[in-house]
Copies of this chain bind each other. A is one copy, B any other.
Amino acid sequence: MATGNNAIGTLVPVPGIRMSAVSAGVRYQNRLDLVLFELAEGTRTAGVFTRNAFCAAPVVLARKHLQASAGAVRYLLVNTGNANAGTGDQGMIDARHCCQALADAADVELTRVLPFSTGVIGERLPAEKIAAATPSALAALQDDQWLAAAKGIMTTDTRPKAVSAVVTHNGQNISLTGITKGAGMIKPNMATMLAFVATDADIEQDTLQALLMSAVEQSFNRITVDGDTSTNDCCVVSASGKSGIKVDKSDAGLYDAFSRALHELILDLAKLIIRDAEGAKKFVTVDVRGGATTGECLQVAYAIAESPLVKTALSASDPNWGRILAAVGRAGVDNLDVSRIDLYLDDVCIVKKGGLAPDYTEAKGQAVMNQEDICLRIELARGDVNEQVWTADLSEEYVRINASYRS
């Protein structure tokens, strides 16, 4: 199950970035499960990683290598089928072994390879299989394999997720293309379950890291499927510089245009995860407006977005506003005056000043609930801060998937 249409737009190659997807047999045979990105010499890479205290060995190692190489990364090595999480010291040895095999084959320093893993937690990574597949992954590198790479990082995803954007500056183009994966265990905290974005803009390391963090904060850090933060979340952006166009604050117009394009691309990727949420039939925007602080807006938004009762009502297309109010009421906002709160389903006002809106009818609410895309808007009337969170419904299929898939 998934929402929205299945089409992927044109994916533009990013000069300086090549990729491949091959089968290494990590967990299943004849399945694309190893994706390799090659970043041209001179490329700068920034990254954000899960804040889960039980972060996986590849996350620890990728963070370490990113720092040791000062962002001068040459390869991103991604496997599915095994998360290499909860694997202790052996997990670190296995992650390093994969990186070393690639570093040797490609003749680069170990710290210029970042490892990423996703899949089952708590089982030993078959590092030998991955190491054995690296030569074929290197041999298959092309600049037009974004879609194959998007397919190669899928686990319970039902479809690949990829987006491109182009920023035009003085008649020249900057290209951006990104892919992501994720469908469950989704409540990213500083990044989500694997996203790789590349551009040929020329950007300093610190600027790139700042742009990434700002974009992630308003996108991957605003989505939730089930409130479960993964042990393996990573989002990296690589800038090859091959366009020859320098992006920095000295040209504020270009900087803003690029920042906006990166932000929108990453937000599009984040929304694609929600559209493919396990068992999802609805794409839901929770729009909390008029809060006093970002914190209280997010408290309310997540109380709604993660309420099993709200999510099951959404699954049933039931305009059950009582459950939404109950979630707002338990969100923990200090001195919440419920008699000031309005609630809208899209543009239909269902609750006015804490009670049923006089002109609301069940037919109006039902019409919105029957849609695939729904916006729940809550007006708190406490201040002028607005925040949005995106989520999906909770269906029997979600339970079926997660009661059968060992992840």
Contact = CB atoms under 8 A, between A and B. Distances in A.
A243 interface: no
B399 A329 contact: no
A305 to B, nearest CB: 12
Contact of A308 (B227, B313, B322): B227
A76 to B, nearest CB: 23
A154 to B, nearest CB: 18
A88 B325 contact: no
A20 interface: no
Contact of A356 (B122, B228, B354): B122
Interface stretch (A49-57, A211-219, A286-294): A49-57
Interface stretch (A96-104, A167-175, A256-264, A390-398): A390-398
A399 B395 contact: yes
A184 to B, nearest CB: 7
Interface in A24-45: none
B122 A313 contact: no
Nearest to A329: B54
A370 interface: no
Given A307-B227, A312-B402, A88 B354 contact: yes
Contacts of A336: 53
* Residue from A55, A326, A329 having most chain B Cβ neighbours under 10 A: A326
Contacts of A83: 322
Contacts of A51: 330
A151 B363 CA distance: 35
Interface string A301-344: 00000111100110110101111011111100100101100000
Given A53-B333, A54-B325, A121-B322, A403 B307 contact: no
Interface in A230-267: 230-231
A52 B403 CA distance: 32
Interface in A118-171: 120-122
Interface in A84-121: 85-90, 120-121
* Residue from A122, A318, A328 having most chain B Cβ neighbours under 10 A: A122
A323 B228 CA distance: 9
Contact of A228 (B90, B121, B231, B326): B326
Taking the full assembly, how many copies of this chain does it contain?
A: 2
Contacts of A315: 399, 403
A403 B326 contact: no
Given A229-B326, A230-B326, A328-B54, A406 B307 contact: no
B185 A228 contact: no
* Residue from A306, A328, A329 having most chain B Cβ neighbours under 10 A: A329
A189 interface: yes
Contacts of A320: 121, 406-407
Nearest to A328: B54
A404 interface: yes
Contacts of A333: 53
Contact of A316 (B52, B228, B318, B404): B404
A329 B406 contact: no
A330 B396 contact: no
A399 B403 contact: no
A359 to B, nearest CB: 15
Given A228-B326, A312-B398, 18 more contacts: A53-B333, A54-B326, A54-B329, A54-B354, A83-B322, A87-B355, A88-B354, A88-B355, A90-B355, A121-B326, A187-B330, A226-B309, A308-B398, A315-B399, A316-B402, A394-B399, A396-B396, A399-B399
Closest 3 CB pairs of A and B: A121-B322, A54-B329, A88-B355
